[in-house]
Amino acid sequence: MNCFDEQDLVAYADGELDAQARAAVERHLAACAACSAYVADMRGLTSKARASFARLPAAERPVARPAMGLVRPAWPRVVVATLAAAAAVLLAALLAARLMSEPKDRRVVQIGPTTTTNTVASTTQSSVSPTPAASNDELFAQWAAAARRRQSPVRLVPMDEVASFRPPVDRPVTANDLNPRG
Amino acid sequence: MSRLQRDREFEASLDAVHPALVRAARVLCWADADVEDVVQETLLAAFRGRASFKGDASPFTWCYTILTRVASRANRRHARGRSMASTHVDDDGADLAESLDAPLPPVDSRLLDDETSRAVVDAVRRLPQRQREVITLHFLQDCSYAEIAAALGISVGTVKATVFAAKQSLREKLSPAAAPESR
């Protein structure tokens, strides 16, 4: 009943045969009306099916697209970049202000209450020139305190010793203090 | 090209194939109510798996592969319902497999007002699952046998045999006078 392989005839109708197989089918179709009608039927079926599928609605109603998770800034990039730069400048200014407000001569961890000596020292460090109304004794005391601070060794107190740390006792001013090595 | 630009290009390519995916889902899904969810899940899975898309296939055929799996999962829910209602005492797995190949119900008449087109789509929906998937891709995108084979992970020989079986069945369903004995 089948004068030719029907699978090959369908593949021929779909343009899927290689050159050699295609030539063999075409030689047969030239002499066989039934197989030619079969190939024409299959081509017509394919065309009708493709047209039918094309008529299917792509969307009966708008199909919501799922959010793909891409980051889309709500604000323009220029605005975002400007705000970020301004925030960075403000942060840097605040940090600089904090650093500048700390005493420059602070070299040790202060344990316990701030002593009068340290307070005086931090005051005089920025300016050695005395006030015109200060007495000589006061001037000397200020200078001596500054000298003692310069001679104080830098010692970093480990965290586990903080609780038991005791600051060194201030020694009395001696003649050597009059000739500061600083 | 930055990663964000590549992602946006890929998203644009998914937008381009979106209408064809909806049409495919209308043929492959049991219920038209599932179409929107199936397409959304397909697009999301495609985007999340975009790293595995090497560009050796068209974006549509790549997404179609995902669509067949998502639609099959959705159809299983309907098949399970029918299987549980069945009076058979066979193994549930056998019933389920048989149900997946069962004909899908006719397409909603509101989707296709042309009677001829509706008859064709209904005939495709009555095919077994594998024939339905192969022939839908063949009709929808005019894909070659090699492209269909790559998309569905089967051999070209299997595609050729499946296309033949599907078209033979459609020819008989749509043209009863063109029976095999008439050749």
Q: Render pLDDT for B107-116 as a digit per residue (tens, 0 to 9).
A: 888 888 888 9
Q: What is the mean pLDDT of residues A61-68?
A: 50
> What residues of A are in contact with residue B180 (Cβ under 8 Å)?
1
Shortest Cα distance, chain B CAs vs residue A40, angstroms: 12
pLDDT at site B55: 72
Longest dimension (CA), chain A: 134
**B70: CB partners within 8 A, 6+ apart:** B38, B41, B42, B45
Q: Chain B residue with minimal CA distance to A1?
A: B183
For A113-125, write each residue's pLDDT tens digit. 444 444 444 444 4
CA distance B45 to B52: 11
pLDDT at site A21: 95
Choose among B162, B163, B153, B156: nearest CA to B57: B153
B16 touches chain A (CB under 8 A): no
Q: Could you give phi then psi for residue B22, rounded to 5 degrees?
A: -65, -45
Q: What percent of chain A has pLDDT over 90?
A: 29
Residue B19 CB coordination number (10 Å): 15
> What residues of B are in contact with residue A11 (Cβ under 8 Å)?
145, 160, 163-164
Cβ contact A80:A73 at 8 Å: yes
pLDDT at site B59: 86
pLDDT at site A34: 94
Q: How many distinct helices (H) and strands (E) make up chain A?
A: 6, 0
Q: Chain B residue with minimal CA distance to A47?
A: B139
CA distance B15 to A176: 87
pLDDT at site A118: 43
- DSSP structural state of residue B142: -
- Residue A65 has its nearest CB partner, among B23, B43, B163, at B43
B179 touches chain A (CB under 8 A): no
- Do A65 and B8 count as a contact with CB atoms less than 8 A apart? no
- Do A55 and B183 count as a contact with CB atoms less than 8 A apart? no
Q: Could you give phi then psi for residue A9, rounded to 5 degrees?
A: -65, -40
The H or E element spanning position A148 is helix A136-151
Most B CBs within 10 Å: which of A52, A60, A65, A72, as the mutation test of the B interface?
A: A52
CA distance A149 to A117: 9
pLDDT at site B89: 46
Burial class, A156, CB count within 10 angstroms (exposed 0-12 / middle 13-18 / buried 19+): exposed
Shortest Cα distance, chain A CAs vs residue B97, angstroms: 27
Q: How many CB pairs under 8 A join A and B?
A: 116
B33 touches chain A (CB under 8 A): no
Q: What is the mean pLDDT of residues B136-165?
A: 94
Choose among A94, A7, A182, A169: nearest CA to B156: A7
> What residues of B are in contact with residue A45 (Cβ under 8 Å)?
167, 170-171, 174
SS3 B12: helix
SS3 A12: helix
- Do A53 and B19 count as a contact with CB atoms less than 8 A apart? no
Task: Please report, for residues A44, B32, B120, B142, the alpha-carbon distance to residue A50 in angstroms, rounded to integers and kept in the order given.
Answer: 10, 20, 10, 8
For B39-84, write each residue's pLDDT tens digit. 999 999 998 888 888 777 788 998 999 999 999 999 888 777 665 5
CA distance A162 to A109: 9
B5 touches chain A (CB under 8 A): no
Q: What percent of chain B has pLDDT over 90?
A: 49
Interface of A with B (CB under 8 A): 1-2, 6-7, 10-11, 14, 16, 34-35, 38, 41-42, 45-46, 48-60, 63-66, 68-71
Q: Given the structure tokens 């495919």, which residue do they identify?
A: B24
Q: A136-151 and A116-125 are packed helices; what angle lies between their axes, rounded to 10 degrees?
A: 90
Cβ contact B108:B124 at 8 Å: no
pLDDT at site A149: 73
Residue B182 has pLDDT above 60, yes or no: no
* Out of A134-138, B4-8, B87-91, least confident range: B87-91
Most A CBs within 10 Å: which of B164, B171, B181, as the mutation test of the A interface?
A: B164
Q: Which two tokens stand for residue B102?
A: 């069962």
Q: Which residue has the higher pLDDT, A159 or A54?
A: A54
Q: What is the mean pLDDT of residues A136-165?
A: 70
Most A CBs within 10 Å: which of B163, B174, B175, as the mutation test of the A interface?
A: B163
Choose among B132, B155, B148, B118: nearest CA to B71: B132
pLDDT at site B134: 96
- Do B171 and A16 count as a contact with CB atoms less than 8 A apart? no
Residue A134 has pLDDT above 90, yes or no: no
pLDDT at site B176: 60
CA distance B178 to A9: 16
pLDDT at site B178: 41
pLDDT at site B16: 87
pLDDT at site A179: 58
